[in-house]
Structure 1
Amino acid sequence: MDVDVFVAAHRPAWDRLEHLTKRSRKLTGAEADELVLLYQRAATHLSTLRAKAPDPALVEHLSAVVIRARSAVTGTHSPAWREFGLFFSRRFPAAVYRSWHWWVPVMVVSLLASGVVSAWIALNPEVQAAVAAPEEIQQLTAPGGDFESYYSSDPAASFAARVWTNNAWVAAGCLLLGVLFGLPVLYILGSNVLNIGLSGGLMAAAGRLDVFLGLITPHGLLELTAVFVAAGTGLRLGWTVIDPGRRTRAAALGAEGRSVVLMALGLACVLLVTGVIEAFVTPSGLPTWARVGIGVVAELVFFAYVFILGRRAAAAGETGDLDARLTAATTPSSG
């Protein structure tokens, strides 16, 4: 696609949209209808540019135009319940969707690495001996041992709160510490891979891999996905420090940082769901297929939420950032 031709063809409509947006409180009925139509067209143009000609400066400019127009179309007064609804229906899923090029590879690599570590430990008795004493391994892997009893070690409600708090801190660490060139995120991911691989390998060596998968799958699918989303987003933030693109480093970090904070809030809610599953479903008396089925359904719902709802919101111009009315104005930059 020739970007110059595309811009020349649609620039008058964008300028007209900006003009109507500024006059949104004084529009006639016909002008209000025109505002809605131009907003819808501009959102489509933004989606096209992102897909076929991702010029950062142009996309950023048109995103701002679309966001301001959407505010004019939907009204300036936003009750708290409406902001709450917009966050979960548009901003959070769009933010997760926009980061999928980072967190999906992180997820694939981490799961493969965990599998390799598990197989290495399970197939090498000398590695097992180096990891822990035989009696410690027996205590961990035996029926009713530490691995199984962990999930019922406390009353369900307090266990759910403890698990949620811990996982929320891990996700927040991945997100916020990514600004340090992503290095802390790699450490957190490595620790996560080793922990899963170690437990899985020892349980497999004891002939209890089915028990391991039956206990970790109900909550672990969605829980690990949330951590991978946080890690991928944190790594993207770290890369923004290294290469901010055509924006100034301060502007790029401001935009990405706001999106990261919003995502931390959203992932805390996702991890609350996984904490409830881990406390009430994982140690329950339900058959294994039912417990695993609940975990699979929760994972599929999250993927549908991101790749259907989030994709639509992103295509409509949602960036996962705060509403333009709540952010400071920035000056254009070139590079």
Structure 2
Amino acid sequence: MNIQRWIGRRQPTWQALDTLLKKLEARGVKALSAEEIRQIASLYRSVSGDLARAKTNQVGERLVSDLQSLTARGYAQIYQGSRRQEWQAVLEFFQWGFPAVVQRSRGYIALATALFGLAGLVAWWLSWHDPRFISLVVPSGMIHQVRDRGELWTGSIVGIEPFASSSIMINNIQVSFGAIAGGMTGGLLTAYIMLFNGLLIGTVGALAGQNNLAVPFWAFVFPHGSLELPAIFLAGGAGFLLARALLFPGQYRRSDALKLYGTQAAQLVFGLVPMLALAGMIEGFFSPQPNIPDLVKYVTGILLFVSLVWYLGRK
């Protein structure tokens, strides 16, 4: 290979890449046109090939070093820049995309919420009118602790906060993913999970109320429940979206309906997981703490819930 002739032929390509990189480094990707973006990717691949050839043919350390510097700059802008764009896309999803998909799914989420609320109210009423009902839902050890010892079980979390928090997160995520996967049963499992969890909280709430522990019990529930329960309702909505695709595909083929509504459900899942993680940390480290006044816990829960409603309702 005639090295000087090769350098003379390839040098305009190196200079073109250097010029585009300087523009990109100084002003960002918005400074480039669509054609320049395609050009910079093509030039980078070409110069990378030149670097390999330069090393093979021993064209000189200075030229190899210059080409290495040029390709390193190209790599940083093309690949690390794409990573920055991915992170920007994630931030934009949580800023606008997640609230938008929640609003599009409000009917399905409302159905999940209604099933949960109805089961909770029925369980509350039955627990007050027939005390035997409580023993059908609540473990006997919890009943004994509340009725006979006059204390809540929440104190068992104190002292093992990291373990409890991670266990709570895992359990909540399992419940939520069960509700989502339940959509593939035509929504039957999703409906069961919503009803069962509503039944459970209604019964436990009645048990606490019957034994003059309603104030500390709901003070425990409010901080983390303000995020945890809405996240479960979102999971139920995602499950009902999948059920809709299976049972009522409408104008779509069932496979196409599953892709369409499955994408919507996946977006709900992507948004609700951080809610469950934060709720688990609050339930492990904040909600059970006896040195935090109940009033502070109520106010915290209300503020979190109001903030969540504002966030999900933004246009």
TM bucket (normalised to shorter chain) is: 0.5 to 0.7
1:171 aligns with 2:176: yes
CA RMSD after TM alignment: 2.7
List alignment gaps of at least 5 residues for structure 2: 1-32, 37-81
Give yes or no for the alignment of 1:217 onto 2:222: yes
The letter of the residue matching 1:160 is S
Task: Map 1:1-335 onto structure 2 (within 5 A).
Answer: 25=34, 79-128=85-134, 137-141=143-147, 145=151, 147-152=153-158, 155-284=160-289, 285-308=291-314, 312=315
Q: Is the CA contact 1:95–1:263 (under 8 Å) kept in the aligned structure 2? A: yes
Consecutive unaligned residues of structure 1, counting only runs of 5 or more, are 1-23, 28-75, 313-335
CA distance in 2 between partners of 1:182 and 1:131 (Å): 23
- Encode CA deviations 1:71-104: one digit per residue, 9 max, x unaligned: xxxxx99722212212212322222121111212
Residue 300 to residue 133, structure 1, CA distance change in 2 (3 Å):
closer
Higher helix share: 2
Which residue is equivalent to 2:60?
A: none
CA distance in 2, matches of 1:149, 1:196: 18
* SS of equivalent to 2:292: coil
Deviation at 1:124, TM superposition (A): 2.2
Inter-partner Cα distance in structure 2 for 1:135 and 1:236: 38
What is the CA–CA distance in structure 1 between the aligned matches of 2:139 and 2:250, rounded to whole Å?
52
Q: Is the contact made by 2:238 and 2:266 (CA closer than 8 Å) also made in structure 1?
A: no
- Once residues 87 and 192 of structure 2 are traced to their aligned partners in structure 1, the CA distance between those partners, rounded to angstroms, is 38
User: Aligned pair in 2 of structure 1 residues 256, 150: CA closer, same or farther (>3 Å)?
Assistant: farther
Q: Read off the aligned partner of 1:253 and give its amino acid letter.
A: L
Paired residue total: 238
SS of residue paired to 1:296: helix
Q: 1:120 to 1:91 in 2, by over 3 A?
A: same
Contact 2:238 2:269 in 1 (8 A): no
User: What does residue 19 of structure 1 align with?
Assistant: none
- On the 8 A contact 1:168/1:271 being kept in 2, the answer is yes
Higher relative CO (Cα under 8 Å, sequence separation at least 6) belongs to 1
Q: Displacement of 1:282 after TM fit?
A: 0.7
TM-score under structure 1 normalisation?
0.64
Q: Which has the larger radius of gyration?
A: 2
Change (3 A) 1:174 1:132: closer
2:122·2:199 contact (CA, 8 Å) conserved in 1?
no
Q: Which amino acid aligns with 1:124?
A: D
**CA–CA distance in structure 2, aligned partners of residues 194 and 216 of structure 1:** 15
Asked whether the 8 Å contact 1:182–1:234 carries over to 2, the reply is yes
Once residues 228 and 174 of structure 2 are traced to their aligned partners in structure 1, the CA distance between those partners, rounded to angstroms, is 13
- What amino acid maps onto 1:25 in structure 2? A
